[in-house]
Amino acid sequence: MPTGDPFDILIVGAGPTGLFAAYYAGFRGLSTAIVDSLPEAGGQVTAMYPEKMIYDVGGFPAVRGRDLVQGLVDQAAPWKPTYLLGRKAETVTENGDGFDVVLDGGEIVKARSILISAGIGEFTPRPLPAGDGWLGRGMVHFVPSLQAHAGQHVVVVGGGDSAFDWVLALHPVAASVTLVHRRAKFRAAESIVREAQALGVRIITDAEVTKFIDVDGALDSVEIAVKGAEPVVLPAQSVVAALGFTADLGPIESWGLEIDHRAVAVDSTMATARDRVYAAGDVASYPGKVKLIATGFGEAATAVNNIAVKLDPEAHLFPGHSSNAE
């Protein structure tokens, strides 16, 4: 359990917005802890498209998702934010000079203010029934490291953009990649489907993975039921179940905030309806909102500067220019 003085800001969500807020808080001399229910920083970028190129972040004509996240982590690092990864913020109660935030597992984090950068909330992958009990033992929902699949036979299950993204990303490193989809049509963009076909990726449609088969406890192959045909058994050391996800603000909805279409309403200072609680990034809602990484960065700066003044009314709202800092 974190002990000692309360953090100036507890940032809820280690996506791009929360990470940039951690940098910004450090720049303003504020101490931070940053909590995320995922085991790695980077939010949607790390979880869903770490290998994709992003073209609309200022200053980067093109940046790979993973590299953008690493840059954000590096940028915040000098200020030593405390990372509380793999833990969800559950409840918030006032404690006199701030808040007690209880994480799942019962830890209490004390903070003088809260910045919610929880994006679209906690995302839960849609399950692959045959893979029950195999998560982390051969089955994954996201691919944080392509190299972990080097030389493996990989079966990707799904028919959306993410499934095809993983197929294309894994194709150069895996021994083989097969895509299995339960329908004949794909939700994925046609261009990406054509790209996979052009690479000669085996695509099995109208088919479902029905069984995970182990040898000495390790995943060895999968059985696939194909409509109107004999089942197929394919070698597989790895199954990527890319069936989409559900997203849910979850506990945040009961933190006494104004919730607007599954987001948190804020004013132009990024303040929520609750004193000392701010929101930024995808989770923050106001008229004209555009949910983009670039927007989240600006909102993080606005939120942190306003928190700085809230915590110390003598402080200036304008932080000065970082280019003038030592």
Ligand X SMILES: Cc1cc2nc3c(=O)[nH]c(=O)nc-3n(C[C@H](O)[C@H](O)[C@H](O)COP(=O)(O)OP(=O)(O)OC[C@H]3O[C@@H](n4cnc5c(N)ncnc54)[C@H](O)[C@@H]3O)c2cc1C
CB of 168 to ligand X, least distance (A): 13
Residue whose CB is nearest to ligand X in the complex, by number: 119
User: Which residue number, 235 or 244, has a Cβ lying nearer to ligand X?
Assistant: 244
User: Which residue number, 220 or 260, has a Cβ lying nearer to ligand X?
Assistant: 260
Token pair belonging to 4 = 């000692």
Cα 258 to chain centroid, rounded: 23
55 is in an annotated binding site: no
Closest C-alpha among 90, 85, 72, 93 to residue 23: 72
User: Which residue number, 259 or 292, has a Cβ lying nearer to ligand X?
Assistant: 292
297 is in an annotated binding site: no
CB of 268 to ligand X, least distance (A): 18
User: Which residue number, 142 or 212, has a Cβ lying nearer to ligand X?
Assistant: 142
**By the 8 A CB rule, do 19 and 35 touch?**
no
User: Which residue number, 105 or 127, has a Cβ lying nearer to ligand X?
Assistant: 105
CA atoms within 13 A on the CB side of 84: 24
Token pair belonging to 205 = 């449609």
89 is in an annotated binding site: yes
49 is in an annotated binding site: yes
CB of 229 to ligand X, least distance (A): 33
CB of 208 to ligand X, least distance (A): 24
Q: State the Cα–Cα distance between residues 262 and 148, nearest whole angstrom.
A: 35
Q: State the Cα–Cα distance between residues 245 and 122, nearest whole angstrom.
A: 10
3-state SS, residue 193: helix
User: First-to-last CA distance in the chain?
Assistant: 34
Distances in whole angstroms, Cα of residue 199 to Cα of each of 52, 73, 171: 18, 35, 8
Q: 31-40 b/e with 16+ CB inside 10 Å = b?
A: bbbbbbbbeb
Dihedrals φ, ψ of 136, to 5°?
80, -5
**By the 8 A CB rule, do 274 and 256 touch?**
yes
Q: State the Cα–Cα distance between residues 239 and 199, nearest whole angstrom.
A: 20
User: Which residue number, 124 or 210, has a Cβ lying nearer to ligand X?
Assistant: 124
Q: Which residues contact 118 (CB under 8 A, 6 or more apart)?
A: 12, 13, 249, 252, 279, 281, 283
Contact positions vs ligand X (CB under 6 A): 12-18, 35-38, 43-45, 48-49, 54, 56, 88-89, 117-122, 250-252, 281-282, 291-294, 296
CB of 240 to ligand X, least distance (A): 15
44 is in an annotated binding site: yes
User: Which residue number, 60 or 220, has a Cβ lying nearer to ligand X?
Assistant: 60
CB of 183 to ligand X, least distance (A): 20
Residue whose structure tokens are 């940039």: 20
17 is in an annotated binding site: yes
Annotation: binding site for FAD: 17, 36, 44, 49, 89, 123, 282, 323
Annotation: binding site: 17, 36, 44, 49, 89, 123, 282, 323
